[in-house]
Amino acid sequence: VLIAKPGKDRGLHVSSVRNTIMPAWVIDKYGTNDVLRFNENTLFPVIHYPNEVIIQVHAASVNPIDVHMRNGYGAASLNMTRDPLKMKIPGSEFPIILGRDVSGVVMECGLSVKYFKPGDKVWAAVPPWKQGTFAEFVVASANEVSLMPKSLSHTEAASLPYVALTAWAGLVNSCGLKKETCPGKRVLIIGASGGVGTAAIQLLKAWGAHVTVVCSGGAQTLMNDLGADDVIDYTTASLKDQLKTRDLFDVMFDNVGGTSEELALQYLKPWSGASYCTLVTPFLYNTDRMGIADGMMRSGFTLGSKVIKHLCKGIHYRWGFFTNSGPALDEIGEIVDAGKMRPVVEKVFPFSDVPQAFDKLEAGNARGKTVIQVI
C-alpha cells in the first residue's frame, strides 16, 4: 500500500481520509433490490497503485449496469478481471459497492499522480470490476478521472460520465464518427430517450450530424429540446414502416437490441462505409452461462458471423462497450462547457434512498438519468 500525499495545502479535512470506515450501499449476494444494504462500517478505500486518487463522492447516478450487476449478471467476467489467477475463494468479491458514476472532490493522490491535486472537482466513470460510487469515498485511476465541467453542479455532473463515455465508445470508437466526419451524416439512434441516448443525440448535434431518434411518444418534447432533427414514435406504428418513408442512414446506434438489429441491412446506405453499432450484446451473458473460455468463443463466433453477414451486404457491424477514459471525458467536458451538451437529470434521490432509485430505473421509461445526491 502506497502512502498517499495529503492535501494539506488545500485546507481539506484530511483527518476524515484517515478514517477506516465509511457509509456505503453494498450487496453481500446477488438478487433483487432486497440485497442492497446500507452499511455505515464499510472499509475505507485504499490507494493501491501510484496512479490512483481517492475521491470524496458528492453525487453518483444509477445505470442499467448497476441493476444487472446486482442481479449477478456479468459476474464471471468481472470476477476474472478482479482475480485473474483465481487465488480467492468463490464469493470473495463481496461486499460489492455498486455505482459507476462519480462527481466529487479529490481527497488524496497516489505518488505518480501529476494532473490532479487534492481539492480538485472531478468527474469519472469507474469500471464495473472496481468498487463503486454509492459510497462516501471511491478510489479511481487518474486516467479514468477528468476535471469536472465548470458549468455543472455535482448533481448534474454525476449524470453524464458513464452514459456519455458509452455513447462516445459507440459513436467514435466503433462507428468512426467525430467532429470532422459528422457534418452531413445521417444517424439513427434507437432507444434515444434514456441515459445513453440523450448523451448521444447531443454529441452528434454538437458535431453537426443529422439525427433521427426512435423513442416512445412521451419523450418527443425532450428529443426536440435536445436537438433531434426527426423523431419517430415506435409505439404508434411499425418502426419498419415509419423508416420506409425516410432516407437511408450512414450510422445506426442501437440502445435497444433484439429485433431492431434487423433494421441495419434495410435502412443503412450499403457500400458507403455505413455502420451499425449495438450496445446490447450477449458477451457477459455468454461468459456467465458457459464460463470464460467457452463464453468468449461463443461471443467471438456470434460477432464474427454477424460481421461477415453484414459485410457481404456492404454494412459494418459492431458491438459497442463502455470504455472508461479520462481524456474522452475531458473532451466531453469541453462540449458541456461550450453549452452544446447538457445533463438530462430526470430525478434526484438522497443517499438514503438508493433502493428507491433502483426501483425507478427498473420501472423503465427513463427520460435521461436518475441521480443519487451523496452529500
Q: Interface with ligand NDP by CB under 6 A: which residues?
A: 63-64, 163, 166, 190-191, 193-197, 214-216, 234, 255-256, 279-281, 320-322, 364-366
Looking at the Cβ atoms of 38 and 234, the one nearer to ligand NDP is 234
Q: From the CB of 359, what's the least distance to ligand NDP, in Å?
A: 13
Looking at the Cβ atoms of 45 and 191, the one nearer to ligand NDP is 191
Task: Produce one character per residue of 174-192: b if its CB has 16 or more CB atoms within 10 Å, e if not.
Answer: bbebeeebbeebbbbbbbb
Place of cell 466526419: 181
Looking at the Cβ atoms of 107 and 188, the one nearer to ligand NDP is 188
Nearest to 74 by CA among 289, 280, 257: 289
CB 189 within 8 A of CB 201: yes
Q: From the CB of 165, what's the least distance to ligand NDP, in Å?
A: 9
Longest dimension (CA), the chain: 64
Opening angle at CA 249, ends 339 and 178, nearest 5: 40
Q: From the CB of 183, what's the least distance to ligand NDP, in Å?
A: 25
CB 260 within 8 A of CB 239: yes
DSSP secondary structure, 153-167, as one string: -HHHHTTSHHHHHHH
Looking at the Cβ atoms of 15 and 259, the one nearer to ligand NDP is 259
CB 336 within 8 A of CB 206: no
Looking at the Cβ atoms of 44 and 249, the one nearer to ligand NDP is 249
Looking at the Cβ atoms of 235 and 245, the one nearer to ligand NDP is 235
Looking at the Cβ atoms of 74 and 149, the one nearer to ligand NDP is 74
Strands 369-373 and 52-62: antiparallel
Closest-approach residue to ligand NDP (CB): 194
Q: How far apart are CA 297 and CA 292, in angstroms?
A: 8
Q: From the CB of 109, what's the least distance to ligand NDP, in Å?
A: 28
Q: Among positive and negative, which fits the CA dihedral 254, 257, 259, 265?
A: positive
Q: From the CB of 255, what's the least distance to ligand NDP, in Å?
A: 4
Cα–chain center distance at 52: 20
- Alpha-carbon distances, residue 128 vs 24, 99, 104, 237 (angstroms): 16, 8, 19, 37
Nearest to 61 by CA among 161, 149, 137, 140: 161
Q: From the CB of 162, what's the least distance to ligand NDP, in Å?
A: 7
Q: From the CB of 233, what's the least distance to ligand NDP, in Å?
A: 9
Q: From the CB of 87, what's the least distance to ligand NDP, in Å?
A: 27
Looking at the Cβ atoms of 4 and 163, the one nearer to ligand NDP is 163
Q: How far apart are CA 165 and CA 159, in angstroms?
A: 11
